[in-house]
Structure 1
Amino acid sequence: MTVFDIYKELEDFLHPILDEMYFESPDGKRVKINIYKQSLPPKRDDEDMNPIPYLIIKVLGGTFPKDYRSDTAKIRVILLIGIMNTEEGYTASMDVLGVMERIRQELLKVGHLKTFSLCADIDFTMNEEDEYPYSFGGMDLKFRSIDVVREDEYT
């Protein structure tokens, strides 16, 4: 298990939850949310596709214990969500909250990924300066790794 594993585990965890949801794309189609690791893909030119709707899995930091036998690593991850909605009544912010709620409910139900377990409250925030038709929000998650302790006949 390494810090890199949390990207794959979160992506595997999120797909079944979010693949049932469809959102508006910039070209007006209903599409599944795009999941990216650490940041949005760079735009190559002005005609490059807009990544909305998106969810970014971003590792912010963590703690590795000094003594591998004393504790497990802790990792802080944020999920950044960007959605657009041009429907009457501007519901993009409700869509962002809906995504966060689905993720929250599933995390609380299972409590862990494959080798990481949720170890703190789930914090969330909404961007205060949304501009129609876009809305943005984020979830702050803290995970503890389920480390495998090395067997050594001399310890």
Structure 2
Amino acid sequence: MTPIEFQDALATEIRYILKPYAYKTPAGERASMNVFTQSIPVQQTDDEEDPFPYVIVRLSSGENPLGKDSFNTVSVILIIGIWDDAQDAQGHRDVLNVVQKIYERFSESPCLNKLAAYTGDFQWMLQEDNYYPYHFGACHMKFNIAAVRREDPLA
């Protein structure tokens, strides 16, 4: 599995995890979570729909920690954007619920499509500044994917 294949598989899994839930949109409706890889698509016109709510599955870095026949560790940051115009400004609760759903899924079952394994390394954070009615958070996770193996019998 390459990092890009991993990113696509993780985005599909995030869609599945969050499919039962609906979140507020700037249009005043409730919608399922949009999931994007690496960034939000560039809007071509001003009248395009706002992408909220969303999760961005962003590849951050990777490494081959043992430098031989082992695995690659891929770091991924999941960026969560929620729009909530309620006067009590509690949109961070939806952000944290999304973080919790993702954490629970991979803590209970670390395998992703039998091709990647969650390492257990999980960090989350919330925005520090107030961007009402926009609420943001993120979580950082690491996964192991298969490394390219040497085929040289003399190596």
TM-score by length of 2: 0.89
Partner residue, 2:51: 51
In the TM superposition, residue 50 of structure 1 has moved relative to its aligned partner by 1.0
Tell me how far 1:150 sits from its aligned partner.
6.3
What letter corresponds to residue 143 of structure 2 in structure 1?
F
CA distance in 1, matches of 2:91, 2:41: 22
* Structure 2 SS opposite 1:73: strand
Give the RMSD, CA atoms, in angstroms: 2.0
Which stretches of structure 1, 4 residues or more, deviate above 6 A after TM superposition? 150-155
Amino acid at match of 2:107: L
Tell me the equivalent position of 2:107: 108
Aligned position for 1:97 = 96
Cα pair 2:15 2:33 within 8 Å, conserved: no
Number of corresponding residues: 154
The amino acid that maps onto 1:5 is E
Answering whether residue 15 of structure 2 is matched by residue 15 of structure 1, we say yes
- More strand by percentage: 2
What runs of 5+ residues in structure 2 fail to find an aligned partner? none
Residue 116 (structure 1) shift: 1.2
Identical columns (%):
29
Residue 140 of structure 1: aligned partner: 140
Task: Check whether the contact 1:58–1:78 (CA below 8 A) recurs between aligned residues.
Answer: yes
Residue 12 of structure 1, CA deviation? 2.4
